[in-house]
Amino acid sequence: MRLLMSIASVLLLGVAASGCSDSIGPESIVGLWAQDNMVPGSGLEISLTLDGSAVSGPGTWCGEALGCGSTSTTGAATGNKIHLITTFDDGRVEVFDGTLTSSNSLVGSMRSASSIQIELPHAQSFHRLADDPPRTQ
């Protein structure tokens, strides 16, 4: 009987904990994201929205001693997998394929998709700056 009660307690605790967990799905991509590991003075921020599985949004970039500009991002979200294509106002195009590892972390690889800048895929991550709209918990 004690064994049965112990098992039931563990199962109940597991169900309760999962109800409070950080659920990760396509809707978790909505918000303002900043690229990690940037050179000081450089950066990329993108504000993403979701319509079905389609992801889109405007952004801004700055390059060390290169000035700043705007971006446009499109892509898709399936489960916690994200595919983004970001077009920069200077003609560059970058492709990001990654995974939402939490509602505040996006990890994957980025590569250049334009002839302006030849670049092999490299590890890249983003962190959430803000939710749009803010999440309530």
10-58 confidence digits (pLDDT tens): 333 343 443 444 578 899 999 999 999 778 888 999 999 999 999 999 9
Which numeric CATH code is attached to 24-130? 2.40.128.120
Q: How confident is the model at residue 6 (pLDDT cuts 50, 70, 90)?
A: very low
Summarize the confidence of residues 85-95 as an average pLDDT.
94
| Token pair listed for 11 | 């199962």
CA distance 47 to 29: 9
The 3-state DSSP class for residue 59 equals strand
pTM value surpassing 0.85: no
Cβ-based neighbours of 81, under 8 Å, separated by 6 or more: 97, 98, 99, 100
- Provide the total of helices (H) and of strands (E) in the chain, helices listed first: 1, 8
Q: Where in the chain are the domains?
A: 24-130
CA distance 20 to 130: 20
Whether residue 38 contacts residue 60, with contact meaning beta carbons closer than 8 Å, is answered with no
